[in-house]
Amino acid sequence: MKTYRIGITDDHLLFAEGISNMISGSPGLQLDFVAGSATEMFSLLRQHPVDFLLLDINLPPYNGLELLDKIKEEYRGIKIMILSMYQPADIGLDIAGFKGDAYVLKISGKNILEEALEGMKNGELYWDPNIVKARAQEDSFTQQLRLTKREKEIISLISVGKTSKEIADLLFVCELTIKTHRKNIRKKLGIRNVANLMSKMTNNG
């Protein structure tokens, strides 16, 4: 059985140690190093040419995506798993442009980490199921809404406290038109008032 050498880079050492313990008990995996910073990581990579690198997304002065690009340029054979507290959308990551080999959320359990490592062994791109689920819900929500450009514009103005009359003046339409739009928005979103609207939009990005 091939043994895969692994490095971990995370500035939260308790978390890194927890991941280390998971890996240490897994057959076919060998932990080579744990780094607490990007500088330490690059120093250790020169000594330990690992197969897999588990990389935190937040490593000042870099972020994990910048480091990912840099590592991929300098060490082309290394496969990289991003470990993060954040969904890709929260950090502005376009999934289609992701250059890593796996993306796992820190809220996930040992089984997800093992699945991700197995996927990397097989040369597969792995996304945490929680990311896939959130993406599916987002797509479903967007499809369900089918908000028009005007309705989105009105929601934006409502969110900053504008009244129907103020919105009508800004958009050069009559107040009745805005009230009709608001009625349609409430119907599409299944809400009753502005508070419900703000809660719905916050929860769904």
* Residue boundaries of the structural domains of the chain: 4-129, 143-203
Of 101, 124, 102, the C-alpha closest to 113 is: 102
User: What is the pLDDT, as a whole number, of residue 195?
Assistant: 65
Q: What is the phi-psi region of residue 175: left when phi exceeds 0, alpha when psi lies from -120 to 50, beta otherwise?
A: alpha
Distance CA 56, CA 12 (A): 9
Q: Is 26 left (phi over 0), alpha (psi -120 to 50) or beta?
A: beta
Q: Percentage helix, strand, coil, to 5, in the chain?
A: 55, 15, 30
- Mean pLDDT, residues 148-175: 87
Where is average pLDDT lowest: 8-22, 66-80, 139-153? 139-153
CA separation for the pair 148, 174 (Å, rounded): 18
Q: Do 143-203 and 4-129 fall under one CATH topology?
A: no
Hey, what CATH topology would domain 143-203 get?
Answer: Arc Repressor Mutant, subunit A (1.10.10)
Query: Quick check: 1 pLDDT over 80?
Result: no
Its pTM stands at 0.67
The hierarchical CATH code for the domain 4-129 is 3.40.50.2300
pLDDT score for 200: 62
Quick: pLDDT tens for 38-52.
999 999 999 988 999
